Structure 1
Amino acid sequence: MNKSHIKQMQEELTELRNQLNELEQLIKDMSVPVIPSIIPETFLLPITGKLEPERFELIISQISEKVYSEEINTIIIDFSAIAKKEIGDLDLFGYYINKLNSILQLLGVEVLYVGFTPIVSQELVRSGLLFIDAKTFLTFRSALDHLMKKKGLKLIHESAT
């Protein structure tokens, strides 16, 4: 191999590493999809997929940065796409939910939880996990209704003319 061929391979390797880093960042960003709500200073965080410690740490890190940088005061965390098998170890799940809740409360963010299925709810209660201080709602819509009333907002339907 000549020097020019080695240099070309090194440049290709560098480019591939850069592409890999960009794709890894894209995956991280997509793992924590934060959706702005119709209510000001409110975000929806739909949780999907398997909830492993690394994923929880990523969620906690990205959400705390996002609410701080964008001055969010309410976040609705939606678990409707989570089945019992995605939760895994309930003690670990409880630990990370409490950690997320504590960090967000310290940042002055109100946390609303929505979408726990009946089976997941039963398992959480059976495991002894306490959601005493948590504000929970059956659906995203019911959480939005609660927030709109709390903030004195009304949804007005305009007829098309």
Structure 2
Amino acid sequence: MKTSTHETYADYFDHRQEDFSQQLLCDASQVRDKIDEIHRVGNIDLFENAHKLVMYALGENTSLSSFAEKEGVAWAQHELTLSFKLEWVQSIRRTMWRFLHDYHEENKNQYGNFFELEKQVNDTIDQFLNGFFLSYSRYKDALLAAQRELVENLSAPIIPLSDRVCVLPLIGEVDEDRVETIETKTLPEIKRLQIETLIIDFSGIAQMDTQSMNRMMKTINGTQMMGCECIITGLRPQIVSNLINNDLQFDPNIITKGTLEQTVNDFFFSKQ
């Protein structure tokens, strides 16, 4: 398509932008009632962005990728429904071709190269969709990774009490997956922080199943293998009964105490 033809098409759509928006509304039935909500939630002007996409499809699209990426991030950030976006873009495509048909009906002597036009318009819109969905997915993947890391850190929050003494408070449900997370996070931290004494407080856990407890005991023994003294506090009667009934025992070098407060007081007073 020649540059002059590009400008002719662009002028045609520019002058009929309002009509285009109205026909777009009629075609995108599912999105129609969500336009104001999408603008309010994400500050996204669907009509303005539709016009931009049309202009990209009719002219140079060197910044198309950045436009698609920005759109993808915006929809991901505000958790807007992807099906609305897909219907909107496909409605833009259909409405655009109706207008191009009208253009050629009005300008029978200026057909230009229709096949080149078809390839450019559809390829541009497809490139936008690909860029949009890739950007959306990358943002969501990064968000999930950050949330996963946060959850893992909260699952095994090692709190320094001094340069060489830390406490690991366990709160909530502890299943095998969480024990694995605790092991994965704790052992490297012992080395990184050069922890000499780790106090593991069980007072926030009412119950643990046998498999999780067995795995947890191995993790605790692993701290000893790394040269870190381990002190267990806050074991509740239910957990102790579970240990007894299943013939599970801590390593003889593991120290157990009643409460975290008692342990901290005893430890620091004894060091004075």
TM over 0.5: yes
Larger helix fraction of residues: 2
Report matched runs for 1:6-155 at 5 Å: 6-37=130-161, 39-84=162-207, 87-88=208-209, 90=210, 92-131=211-250, 133=252, 134-150=254-270, 152-153=271-272
Deviation of 1:114 after TM superposition, in Å, equals: 0.3
Q: Answer whether contact 2:171 2:204 (CA < 8 A) is retained.
A: yes
TM-score after normalising by structure 1: 0.82
3-state secondary structure, aligned to 1:120: helix
CA-CA distance at 1:49 after TM superposition: 2.0
Cα shift at 1:25: 1.2
Which structure 2 segments of 5+ residues have no match?
1-89, 91-124
Distance 1:43 1:11 in 2: 41
- Offset of residue 74 of structure 1: 0.5
- Cα offset, 1:144, TM superposition: 1.6
Structure 1 CA distance for aligned equivalents of residues 251 and 176 of structure 2: 23
Aligned with 1:47: secondary structure? Answer: strand
CA drift at 1:17 = 1.3
Are the equivalent residues in 1 in contact too, given 2:214–2:248 (CA < 8 A)? no
Change (3 A) 1:93 1:13: closer
C-alpha distance in structure 2 between counterparts of 1:58 and 1:41, whole Å: 22
Q: Is the 8 A contact 2:221 2:251 kept in 1?
A: no
For residues 66-101 of structure 1, give each alpha carbon's deviation from its aligned partner in whole angstroms, at most 9, with x where no partner exists. 1100111000000001112xx02x2x2342133112
Task: Give per-residue Cα distances to partners, 1:12-57, cap 9 Å, x unaligned.
Answer: 22111111111111111111111111x4311111112222211111
C-alpha separation in 1, matches of 2:140 and 2:251 = 49
Q: Distance in 2 between matches of 1:94 and 1:19?
A: 32
Per chain length, whose mean CA-contact separation is higher, i.e. which structure has more relative contact order (CA < 8 Å, sep 6+)?
A: 1
Deviates more, 1:61-70 or 1:128-137: 128-137
Q: CA deviation at 1:132?
A: 5.6
Tell me how many residue pairs correspond in the alignment: 147
- The alpha-carbon distance between structure 1 residues 115 and 13, as it changes in their structure 2 partners (threshold 3 A), is same
Over 3 Å counting, the alpha-carbon distance change for 1:83 and 1:5 in structure 2 is: same
Tell me, in whole angstroms, the C-alpha distance in 2 between the residues paired with 1:94 and 1:5.
49
CA distance in 1, matches of 2:203, 2:240: 11
Structure ID, larger Rg:
2
Query: Unaligned stretches of 5+ in structure 1?
Result: 154-161
In 2, Cα distance between equivalents of 1:122 and 1:93: 15
